[in-house]
Amino acid sequence: MKRSILIVLVLALVLAAGVYYSVKFAPRAIETVLPGKAAVYIKVSDIEKQADEFRSSKLWKNIKGIDIEMLMEKSGAKKEQIEGYKTAKSEITSFLGGLVIDKYFGKEIAVALYPAETGEASANPASNLASKVILVTRIKPETDFIDFISKILNKFEQKYEIAEENYKGNKITVVKLSDGVGLAYVRIKDLLVMGIGKEAVIPCCDVADKAVSSLSQDKDYVATMSRLPKGARNVIYGDMELLVSEFRKFIYAAVKPQEAAEAGPRQAFKNQIDKSLSMYAGFKTFAYAGYPGKILAEKTIMIIDRSKLHPFCADFYSIPSRKNKTLKFAPVNTIYYGWSSFAPKAYWEYFRSELEKDNDKAKQGRSFNDVLAEFEQKAGMSVDNDIIPALGDELGAFLIDINLDGLIPVPEFVFFTKVNKKKALDGLTGYFLKEGKVKLESEGYKGIDIKYMALPAGEDFQPAYCYIGDYLLVSLGRKPIKESIDTYKGASKPLFEDEDFKAVNHGLTEASNGMCFIKMAALLQKAEDICDWGLTWLTVMVEQQKKYRQILDTKLDSMTEEVAKDEAELGKLESDVKTLEKEMGDPDLQEADAAVKHDELEKLKEGLEAKQSEVDTKREYLKDLEAKDQCKSPLENVDVPLVKLYLEEAVYPILEGLQSLKAIGSRTTYGENAIQGEYFSRIVE
């Protein structure tokens, strides 16, 4: 019995010790030392681990393999510039890789921005805003931060003074620079709090003293972050209402009138700013959180107040979530796919109201309503009663490939939208085709009628459309349309059977308001192919420019010689005319000789006039050639071998390294009081 009691007492003591340690010695969360009502808060954890992960990535290895010094040398950089780069690289690598990350910023770091006093009378809004930035980092107990600051300032030969002040048992250190700027910091447990001026860090001391409520107690912060799962490695929080308010004050303060006459335009500018910012009414707070794992997960949340939303936003974000049916006609080889809910009536009403306002301001010419009435009369249908109701509340697009076989890259994409009334859309299409005098051809493919423009460019570039179920599909060519039909009919696999799609499909196919999928590795490979195509095109264009320049120079030299030769002949003719006219003025000249010389003079004058006309024409042509010679093409200065070198030694390695990111998938949903987003990335090193 005594032994049992002893065991219970020991366990109780261990538990009590654990509780005491967790309260007394456990690390404080950064949010607990920052004041509430932050406009923006960013926190990054496990920095050293994230840095190690990046350093082990293929992207970083490829970046490290880029010979910057060689590229600088090939680009014509001077020797001292190259040496300066090498020195800076060495110092930065040593600074970031050792001292900074290891001792000061390797565990956890956060930055918070608070509302600034940026009113009408503010002399320097930007400086005022900077004074409201607080940086917090978690450091080791033995770290001496003043030693760190001193080494940096001494290195740059910056004069400074150090002052210390005790505030509520906390030692605030201010490092004042020669230009008057003072960096203040205070240590709270294992957290180092920094800001510009002691006024930035004093509130954190008040929070630690429990005189001021912390960010972790801020009701908006708590309500927002509680909607996201725990365990995030990177966090961003923002108060939209504060940010919009601060931005408005910042803009107002930046445009002060110099004279009373500027008051009118300034007020108009303010009204325009207010109108633009009114679109953000009702958006309260937002947050982002990133989570590590084999599939990198990211979550976002936007808290909204529907009663304050702009009418357009209220309609747009009221669309209910639904299952996405359009994946049935997206082929398995799709490299980009995007689908979202759509509010055609809300878009139309907002667009019309804005055009009507602009027209009222102009008060000249035909009004928007006049143009609309004329269109409706010609088309024989009403926008409000026929066209808008014909459009459904879904739209999207997907990219299957980028064709590089032609003169220009042709994206093989399909745009799609849900349709409520096909007859109305067919009538609208018929009207525009009639107005543009365009005739469509028709092709039946697996039971579906494809309408297309019979352009001579071939099937790849013959704009086409068709209906698949309740959806209208439009493309630049018939090929993507046919691939979509094959997928819909089951002749080829759909996108949701792709391995990359499956890897990031963590609820992507569930009911939502938007979904996006990008096969990043394939898209980046296409980017490499486009670079190759661009290099080939550039090579051809530069060669053509060189040939053009050679031909132009030859013509210029030849025409210069011809003009000089013709001007000499013209001068001789002018001299001959003058000589003959002088001879004809001789009083002793016989009548018979005078008649002969008269005929000769007439012929000389005719020749002179013809030669003058010929010279004038050639002079104009020469002037045109000289103008073309002065007009240098940008291609003449392009060093194609250097461009190729940069592509092969820098661009391609980076694109190849980025291809470790295989795929990204995202999903967006609209709730009663929040807009949520989920993002999933597959990374394979």
State mean pLDDT over 262-278: 80
Token pair of 651 as six digits: 């661009």
What values do phi and psi take at 271, rounded to 5?
-60, -40
pLDDT at 313: 93
Which residue in the block uniquely carries the two structure tokens 């590089």? 404
- CA nearest to 536, candidates 656, 640, 650: 640
pLDDT at 91: 74
Question: Where do runs of H (alpha helix) occur along 585-671?
Answer: 591-630, 640-646, 652-658
Query: What residue ranges do the domains of the chain occupy?
Result: 30-230, 314-528+661-683, 561-653
Q: Is residue 17 pLDDT above 60, yes or no?
A: no
Q: Distance between CA 476 and CA 484 in Å, rounded?
A: 13
- pLDDT band at 640, cuts 50/70/90? very high
What values do phi and psi take at 77, rounded to 5?
-70, 150
pLDDT at 181: 77
Q: Distance between CA 329 and CA 494 in Å, rounded?
A: 7
3-class SS of residue 676: strand
- CA nearest to 237, candidates 106, 131, 139, 114: 114
State mean pLDDT over 567-573: 87
pLDDT at 18: 40
Distances (CA, A) of 669 to 76, 288, 666, 674: 53, 15, 10, 9
The burial class, CB within 10 Å (0-12 / 13-18 / 19+), for 481 is: buried
- pLDDT band at 122, cuts 50/70/90? very low
Q: Distance between CA 397 and CA 383 in Å, rounded?
A: 24
Q: Distance between CA 636 and CA 523 in Å, rounded?
A: 32
Which residue in the block uniquely carries the two structure tokens 């808290």? 303
Q: Is residue 337 pLDDT above 90, yes or no?
A: yes
Please write the tens of the pLDDT for every residue from 216-268: 999 999 999 999 999 999 999 999 999 998 888 878 777 665 555 566 777 77
Q: Distance between CA 169 and CA 257 in Å, rounded?
A: 47
For the chain, how big is the Rg over CA atoms in Å?
38
Judge whether 133 and 194 are in contact, CB under 8 Å: no
DSSP state of 188: E
State mean pLDDT over 410-419: 95
- CA nearest to 506, candidates 367, 663, 673: 663
Q: What is the signed CA dihedral for 82, 85, 90, 94, rounded to 10 degrees?
A: 180
The burial class, CB within 10 Å (0-12 / 13-18 / 19+), for 193 is: buried
Please write the tens of the pLDDT for every residue from 578-599: 887 787 777 776 677 777 777 8
Instruction: Give strand ranges (E) for 248-407.
Output: 283-291, 295-304, 336-341, 391-403
State mean pLDDT over 548-577: 89
Please write the tens of the pLDDT for every residue from 41-70: 999 999 888 888 998 999 999 999 999 999
Judge whether 41 and 237 are in contact, CB under 8 Å: yes
3-state SS string for 167-185:
ECCEEEEEEEECCCCEEEE
User: What is the distance in angstroms between the CA of the first residue and the CA of the last residue of the chain?
Assistant: 60
- pLDDT band at 358, cuts 50/70/90? low
3-class SS of residue 111: strand
pLDDT at 117: 62
The model carries a pTM of: 0.84
Residue type, 542: V
What values do phi and psi take at 438, rounded to 5?
-110, 135
Q: Distance between CA 242 and CA 40 in Å, rounded?
A: 9
Which helix H or strand E contains 445, and what residues bound it?
A: strand 440-445
Q: Distance between CA 529 and CA 405 in Å, rounded?
A: 11
Contacts of 556 (CB under 8 A, 6+ apart): 622, 625, 626, 629
Token pair of 67 as six digits: 């010979």
3-state DSSP percent of the chain in helix, strand and coil, to 5: 55, 20, 25
pLDDT at 429: 87
Look at the alpha carbons of 502, 505, 511, 514 in this order and tell me if their dihedral is positive or negative: negative
- Give the least confident one: 75-84, 170-179, 218-227, 476-485: 170-179
pLDDT at 7: 45
Q: Is residue 333 pLDDT above 50, yes or no?
A: yes
- Give the least confident one: 4-8, 664-668, 677-681: 4-8
Q: What percent of the chain has pLDDT over 70?
A: 89
Look at the alpha carbons of 601, 602, 608, 611 in this order and tell me if their dihedral is positive or negative: negative
DSSP state of 262: G
Q: Is residue 93 pLDDT above 80, yes or no?
A: no
Q: What is the pLDDT of the chain when averaged over all its residues?
A: 86
- pLDDT band at 40, cuts 50/70/90? very high
pLDDT at 361: 55
The strand pairing partners of 45, in sequence order, are 108
- pLDDT band at 455, cuts 50/70/90? confident
pLDDT at 524: 96
Q: Is residue 537 pLDDT above 90, yes or no?
A: yes
Number of CB atoms found within 10 A of residue 611's CB: 18
- Give the least confident one: 83-92, 114-123, 472-481, 484-493: 114-123
pLDDT at 10: 42
Residue type, 147: D
Q: Distance between CA 205 and CA 186 in Å, rounded?
A: 8
Please write the tens of the pLDDT for every residue from 296-325: 999 999 999 999 999 999 999 999 999 999
- pLDDT band at 456, cuts 50/70/90? confident
Q: Distance between CA 612 and CA 535 in Å, rounded?
A: 49
Distances (CA, A) of 149 to 104, 110, 159, 509: 11, 19, 12, 52
Contacts of 402 (CB under 8 A, 6+ apart): 409, 410, 411, 412, 526, 529, 530
For the chain, the farthest-separated pair of C-alpha atoms sits apart, in whole angstroms, at 165
Judge whether 440 and 405 are in contact, CB under 8 Å: no
448-453 and 440-445 strand pairing: antiparallel
State mean pLDDT over 138-163: 77
pLDDT at 273: 86
3-class SS of residue 332: coil
Q: Distance between CA 359 and CA 313 in Å, rounded?
A: 24
Which residue in the block uniquely carries the two structure tokens 């293929």? 58
Q: Distance between CA 549 and CA 562 in Å, rounded?
A: 20
State mean pLDDT over 184-211: 91
- Give the least confident one: 154-158, 191-195, 483-487: 154-158
- CA nearest to 327, candidates 497, 480, 503: 497
Please write the tens of the pLDDT for every residue from 385-409: 999 999 999 999 999 999 988 788 8
Q: Is residue 171 pLDDT above 80, yes or no?
A: yes
State mean pLDDT over 548-558: 90
- CA nearest to 38, candidates 137, 138, 134: 134
State mean pLDDT over 121-144: 68
Angle between helices 368-379 and 422-435 (to 10 degrees): 100
Question: Where do runs of H (alpha helix) occur along 472-519?
Answer: 478-488, 499-504
Q: Distance between CA 564 and CA 560 in Å, rounded?
A: 6
Tell me the HSE value of 653 on the side-chain side, using a 13 A CA sphere. 18
pLDDT at 11: 45
State mean pLDDT over 646-656: 96
Angle between helices 520-584 and 591-630 (to 10 degrees): 160
Q: Is residue 131 pLDDT above 80, yes or no?
A: no
- pLDDT band at 1, cuts 50/70/90? very low
